Structure 1
Amino acid sequence: MKGDVLVIEEHHRRAAARLASELLRAVPPAPARLVVTVAGESGSGKSETATALSDELRRLTGLGALVLGQDDYFALPPRSNDARRREDPEWLGPHCEVRLDLLQDNLDAAREGATSIEKPLVDYAADSVASEVVALGDARVVVAEGTYVSLLRHVDCRVFIARSRLETREHRLRRNRGGEALDPFVESVLDTEHKIIAGHRHLADVVLTREFDVVRQR
């Protein structure tokens, strides 16, 4: 998402280094690509971990890793989506807010060796959604990150960050997009999201603990 703010810290890089060393063994021969998802609650460090993982894979191999953020796949841009949530209490969750079908299509194309994909691009400041063509080039791994990406299919490794909205409050305050970290309505949304997302932990192959230790579940 254009205009997003990332705060990548040592614990993100430490977890990414451990993940990268394991994932490299599973990268398929070109032109196929490995697909990884990084899920968790708002402010858990999904974007930072995915970006750190991409950086580490490039450092180790010299090859790229493409990060696809779920924020680009929302049906509405951020301020419009927030307004819709306030008007319609049913407008919350993966079944309505997020175009997971389009993200799935982009992942499948990348997995199968496409040289480029056309994807949405959200501009946070402009509250708009455009589209862009992304060349996949030397990318050998595609990482999708977001609250609901554990629900995607055809994934080689699902990572889940086990930090609740209360544990992520400090991180959210530091990012504080649009002042949302101090908004009681947003907190109520995050509480509802918590009830949805907590159940996704059992889908994960790898769990990152609240200290960002890497624990393999399967």
Structure 2
Amino acid sequence: MNTKYNKVTVFKDTDDKLSKAATTVSNISIPDDIPHGDMPGDKIEIGESHIAKARTIFPLLVKELSEKMAANPYKRAVVAVCGGSGVGKSEIASLLSYLLESAGIGSYTMSGDNYPHRIPMYNDAERLHTFRKEGIRGMVDAGVMNADTVAKIREWQAADDDANKAHLETDTWFRSYLEAGSKGLDEYLGTPNETDFAEVDQIMKAFKDGADKLWLKRMGRDEASLWYDEVDMSEKQVLIVEWTHGNSDYMSQVDIPVLLNSTPAETLEHRRSRNRDGKLDSPFTMLVLELEQAKLVKQAHKAKIIISKAGDIISFDQFQELMK
């Protein structure tokens, strides 16, 4: 006897729960401490704006879930909460999962940040190495490599200032370094070169195929903080993946992408307000954010739900206007 198919009877009242959930969301109280994603050491700080956005998203999410879960023999679906830096992915994914659980719909929040090939310090180093390697190659290809330009690039690299667009105003040859480095970095960020999308997709498929348990990766910030936990999914119907790359074309198993949008100016303002010493991020970090933002914009047409930084549900056309 296939125990997986028997589980369908356990969730036979799912449709009733979903229909009631959308109307009762405003009555569900949110405690100060709720379960959150599975990234080791991840800390979330839920504010009123996160709660307001989650309550706004929830009725639309429930409507989408009704359709997707009805089409799955195990009454299961995968939701991806994606967006740029500082937009509140971890907080809102955790809140949506909590609201589903409160409505009697089992939900688990998984962090996509556990699935790069390298731990954070090595991945950051690989990003920078890729940018610099391709930038130097670009100088060679453009015929601007000489003792003076190499000395200047080394000076800027030592100061972590070699991605600074301001150099274009004084050194026209720098364009070859910046453009080639940016292109190389773009071909690394959010691609299988950086992240094991195949593993994430396999996990999602196993979940939708009725797996009772899943082995999920845990990645901390050092080499000793890498392991797998076996997670009980027998009573879970929704897998929520919170991740910048949750709407990536490299995955095929996401049913409902939810895009938490912010314009580049809003992202920069958030990062400014978050820096305790008042310093801006390095030019290289800003370049990474710009490239990631471009990927989010390119993928946005697939999002089932888009919510603005201000907390308004917007259409794809409205999103395009905001991002101009």
> TM-score band (shorter)?
0.7 to 0.9
Give the aligned residue type for 1:132.
Answer: D
**Structure-2 residue corresponding to 1:76:** 118
Match of 2:208 among 89, 111, 116: 111
How far the C-alpha of 1:126 sits from its partner, in A, is: 5.8
Query: What is the RMSD computed on CA atoms of the aligned residues?
Result: 2.6
Q: TM-score, normalised by structure 1?
A: 0.85
**Structure-2 residue corresponding to 1:22:** 60
Segment drifting more, 88-97 vs 65-74: 88-97
CA 1:109 to 1:32, structure 2 compared with 1: closer, same or farther past 3 Å? farther
SS in 2 for 1:2: coil
Task: Give 1 or 2: higher strand fraction.
Answer: 1
Q: Is the 8 A contact 1:181 1:187 kept in 2?
A: no
Matches within 5 A, 1:44-63: 44-61=87-104, 63=105
Segment drifting more, 4-13 vs 78-87: 4-13
Q: Is the 8 A contact 1:72 1:120 kept in 2?
A: yes
Task: Give 1 or 2: higher helix fraction.
Answer: 2
**Structure-1 residue corresponding to 2:230:** 133
**Structure-2 residue corresponding to 1:184:** 283
Mapped partners of 2:78, 2:303: distance in 1 = 13
Give the aligned residue type for 2:298.
Answer: G
How far the C-alpha of 1:40 sits from its partner, in A, is: 1.2
Segment drifting more, 208-217 vs 51-60: 208-217
Mapped partners of 1:44, 1:98: distance in 2 = 21
Q: Which runs of 4+ in 1 moved over 4 A?
A: 170-176
Mapped partners of 2:256, 2:86: distance in 1 = 21
How far the C-alpha of 1:134 sits from its partner, in A, is: 1.4
Deviations along 1:68-107, one digit per CA (max 9) or x if unpaired, are: 1110111111111111111112332223111111111101
Between the two proteins, the alignment pairs up a number of residues equal to 214
Q: Is the 8 A contact 2:211 2:234 kept in 1?
A: no
**Structure-2 residue corresponding to 1:101:** 198
1:12 aligns with 2:55: no
Identity of aligned residues (%): 28
| Bigger radius of gyration | 2
Mapped partners of 2:58, 2:231: distance in 1 = 23
**Structure 1: gaps of 5 or more residues:** none
Deviations along 1:98-140, one digit per CA (max 9) or x if unpaired, are: 1111111101111121111112111136674322211113211
**Structure-1 residue corresponding to 2:154:** none
Mapped partners of 2:264, 2:224: distance in 1 = 25
CA 1:131 to 1:166, structure 2 compared with 1: closer, same or farther past 3 Å? farther
How far the C-alpha of 1:160 sits from its partner, in A, is: 0.8
Segment drifting more, 143-152 vs 77-86: 143-152
Q: Is the 8 A contact 1:173 1:181 kept in 2?
A: yes
Mapped partners of 1:128, 1:85: distance in 2 = 21
SS in 2 for 1:214: coil
